[in-house]
């Protein structure tokens, strides 16, 4: 059985019970218009596929806002403030940790939310996407006080003082080729996530990074989008609209 056949079989199980498996795309590190962003838009928004762009507030401005004003189906979330690493040598990269005073980090995040709301009054959402998917628990506990209603990191959702809308499968091979991953492991992870969702709630969050996609990554993403769009047991969703 091919990996794509396994996905279609899983989606057929959903269809047979009258349900649609919910898929969601989150794309990280958007800053300005680019050919890669145009390709992402052509695959998603131009076809009415909802997706969330995690935008880095410090480095973005009117150029991206003007480009996105002509699109539909794309929401904009706060991707930290600067995507700057403050972790020490030997630590995993992190912007939103306790390496600086908590009040300074929260002040930057609040400024980031304000900036994106001003740039994108019709599409900015109150979701925080931490750079490198890492944030200290102490900061999570304060997010609602500065205007955030949800948090999106990577992995299965855990108990938290704020709504979690995570991604669960990463398109990129960060520790190997740094290009798109092979179909088989990607599809196995997608199917495994869908199996856990049969008895629960949530989405199959798919994580992309348009700026670093190679042809392998673009090809997989296009096929996944088409597969979900055409199957009666699946749908692309905006989790914040549910």
Cβ contacts of 129 within 8 Å, gap of 6 or more: 26, 28, 52, 54, 77, 78, 79, 80, 151, 152, 153
By the 8 A CB rule, do 61 and 33 touch? no
Integer CA distances (angstroms), 4 to 10, 102, 167, in order:
10, 46, 20
* Tokens at 127, concatenated: 């979701």
Domain coordinates of the chain in residue numbers?
A: 3-241
Q: What is the pTM of this model?
A: 0.97
Span 39-61, pLDDT tens digits: 999 999 999 999 999 999 999 99
- For 3-241, give the CATH class: alpha beta
Q: Of 37, 41, 240, 49, whose CA–CA distance to 128 is shortest? A: 240
Span 172-229, pLDDT tens digits: 999 999 999 999 999 999 999 999 999 888 999 999 999 999 999 999 999 999 999 9
Cβ contacts of 174 within 8 Å, gap of 6 or more: none
CA distance 235 to 227: 10
Span 148-161, pLDDT tens digits: 999 999 999 999 99
Cβ contacts of 44 within 8 Å, gap of 6 or more: 25, 50, 51, 73, 74, 225
């Amino acid at each position: 059985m091919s990996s794509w056949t396994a996905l279609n079989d899983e989606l057929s199980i959903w269809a047979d019970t009258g349900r649609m498996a919910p898929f969601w795309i989150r794309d990280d590190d958007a800053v300005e218009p680019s050919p890669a962003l145009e390709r992402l838009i052509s695959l998603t928004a131009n076809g009415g596929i909802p997706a969330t762009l995690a935008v880095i507030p410090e480095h973005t401005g009117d150029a991206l806002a003007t480009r996105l004003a002509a699109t539909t189906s794309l929401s904009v979330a706060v991707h930290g403030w600067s995507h700057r690493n403050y972790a020490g040598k030997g630590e995993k990269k992190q912007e939103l940790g306790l390496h600086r005073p908590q009040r300074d980090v929260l002040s930057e995040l609040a400024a980031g939310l304000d900036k994106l709301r001003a740039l994108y009054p019709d599409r900015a959402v109150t979701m925080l996407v931490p750079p490198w998917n890492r944030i200290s628990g102490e900061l999570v506990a304060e997010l609602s006080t500065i205007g955030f209603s949800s948090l999106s990191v990577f992995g299965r959702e855990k108990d938290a003082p704020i709504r979690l809308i995570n991604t669960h499968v990463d398109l990129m091979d960060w520790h190997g080729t740094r290009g798109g991953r092979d179909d088989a492991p990607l599809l196995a992870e997608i199917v495994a996530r869908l199996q856990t969702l049969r008895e629960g709630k949530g989405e199959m969050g798919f994580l992309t990074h348009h700026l670093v996609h190679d042809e392998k990554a673009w090809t997989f993403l296009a096929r996944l989008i088409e597969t979900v769009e055409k199957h009666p047991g699946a749908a692309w969703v905006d989790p914040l609209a549910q």
